[in-house]
Amino acid sequence: MNNLALYLIQAACVFAVLYLLYILFLEKLTFHNMNRLVLLLLLPLSILVPFSNTIFPSVSSKIIEVPLLEHITFEAINKQLGGIEQPVLDASFSYSTLLLAIYWLGFSVCLFRILLNARQLSILRKNAIIEQKAGYQLLVADVPEIFSYFHWVFIPKHKSEQCNSNILEHEKMHIRLKHSWDVILTEVYIAFFWFNPLLYFYRKSLKSIHEFQADKGVITNGVKTSQYMQLLMQSLEIQKPNNLYNYFNQPMLKKRVTMMTKPKSSRLARFTYVLLLPVCVLLISAFTKPIIEENLFVKTLKVSEFVTPSPPSLFPVQNGTKEDISSFYLAVRKGRTNKGTIHRGIDIKGKVGTPVLATADGVVNKASLEGNWGNLIVITHADGYETWYAHLNGFNTSENQEVKKGDIIGYLGNTGLSNGPHLHYEVKQNGKRLNPIDYLK
């Protein structure tokens, strides 16, 4: 799976777990400041938790193959080879490309909407009558209802002479609490994760908290709750809301009235927020994978008479040359973990889907997804030789299958801990790593 797609799905899952936890246990509490903080923290947490494997220390582990391959006859090999279907690479590649194109299209549409809404506000301000006030600007403009955006308060022209001071104070509370920054952050996050349906409910939850905070600020200043609620019910519903600033619609007003008349949550209810801590720890643990690198253990396999005893010498990428090698044996590199490591093989760059070849006759020891290696193939050859092919996009072979030199065993990819499409290729003899360059023709 494409690394970007995998990360986006993981981040969306983390967000879903945390947001559903908020809905179930925290949404109805009257601790509006705490709820706002929790909702805002959901965004960076969902982004960072999938990176737990690089943020937090990992524990090395071993993968041990239990079964031992027995002697394989030539007839069994023919039977096995005859049952293997060739993967349709073009369809798979087109499918991945199509999904990626749809994602970037959705991102572009969301980003365009943000810019369009911001431009509309800029035009409104440009055509408005501006009056400078203490800490904000009062703008009389062609708008259907009063609203605030950063340090601007827009007032409809038809209400400029009779704007209620309590409603104006409500908008000033939005400015003091810097709610516009929350909205901008949410809209940018939605642009990246637009495919997650829970985000649109999240946006409503956050705007509800903004309204609860502003309402509480006005009532705290001495306004009667009943009088203030009557003012709210006189607010008109905006037919075409702008997500950057709109707070006025009937469902939102109903929530605000309900919250204003609701008894305050008890102090003991504050301990409900502690529930977030173990959930966060579990999520981090779920994404903190053991490092599977030097300790990957591979069983020694018996090789039948079908295998010609010769060292691996073929270039492992079809139509590739030594000029395609992007990282050499024993080179010191810094990867995603930002830790200097010695490169134990060579990296060969190429396009995703390029055929990868067996470099000598042998038996497929391993063909599976293996942590940082991504899709990995290990082939055992005669005279104690072993070849490793990592970060593959897919397989064209299976474990325990005998292969001939030049057979297509898989396809170049970008899986595991990989920074770009390439094949990581290693050569070993009797467990000791060798320089693959010395064996390439």
Provide the CATH number for the domain around residue 388. 2.70.70.10
- Please give the distance of CA 185 from its chain centroid, rounded to a whole number: 16
Q: Please give the residue range of the domain that contains residue 33.
A: 3-55+97-283
Q: Are residues 195 and 246 in the same domain?
A: yes
Q: Are residues 263 and 313 in the same domain?
A: no
Q: Are residues 337 and 404 in the same domain?
A: yes
- Counting the structural domains of the chain, the total is 2
Long-range (24+ apart) CB contacts under 8 A made by 258-266 are 259/30, 259/208, 259/212, 259/215, 260/215, 260/216, 260/219, 260/225, 260/228, 260/229, 261/225, 261/229, 262/30, 263/30, 264/30, 265/29, 265/30, 265/31
Q: Are residues 306 and 233 in the same domain?
A: no
State which of 283, 317, 346 marks the end of a domain.
283
Q: Are residues 243 and 305 in the same domain?
A: no
Q: Are residues 274 and 299 in the same domain?
A: no
Q: Are residues 352 and 218 in the same domain?
A: no
Q: Are residues 305 and 242 in the same domain?
A: no
Q: Are residues 160 and 273 in the same domain?
A: yes
Rounded to two decimals, the pTM is: 0.62
Cβ(282)–Cβ(47) below 8 Å = no
Cβ(184)–Cβ(244) below 8 Å = yes
Q: Does a structural domain hold residue 62?
A: no
Task: Quote the CA–CA distance of 440 and 383 in Å, as a whole number.
Answer: 17
Q: Are residues 31 and 179 in the same domain?
A: yes
pLDDT value at position 419? 85
pLDDT value at position 63? 40
Strand 129-133 versus strand 147-149 pairing type: unpaired
The full length of the chain comes to 441
pLDDT value at position 318? 94
pLDDT value at position 232? 73
State which of 233, 263, 283 marks the end of a domain.
283
Q: Does a structural domain hold residue 63?
A: no
Q: Are residues 277 and 310 in the same domain?
A: no
State which of 262, 283, 304 marks the end of a domain.
283
Cβ(374)–Cβ(392) below 8 Å = yes
Cβ(318)–Cβ(355) below 8 Å = yes
Instruction: Provide DSSP, 246-301.
Output: ----HHHHHHHHHHHTSPPPPGGGGGGGGGHHHHHHHHHHHH-PPP-STT------
Q: Does a structural domain hold residue 81?
A: no
pLDDT tens-place values along the chain, 441 residues long = 467 888 899 999 999 999 999 999 999 999 999 999 999 999 999 999 988 765 555 444 444 333 333 333 334 434 444 444 444 444 444 677 888 899 999 999 999 999 999 999 999 999 999 999 998 999 999 988 889 999 999 999 887 777 778 889 999 999 999 999 999 999 999 999 999 999 999 999 999 999 999 999 999 888 888 888 877 776 544 444 555 555 444 567 778 888 888 899 998 999 999 988 999 988 888 877 554 444 454 555 454 544 556 789 899 999 999 999 998 888 766 554 445 578 889 999 999 999 999 999 999 999 999 988 999 999 999 888 999 999 999 999 999 999 999 999 999 999 988 888 999 999 999 889 999 998 886
Q: Are residues 9 and 107 in the same domain?
A: yes
Return the sign of the alpha-carbon dihedral for residues 227, 232, 233, 236: positive
pLDDT value at position 347? 94
pLDDT value at position 334? 58
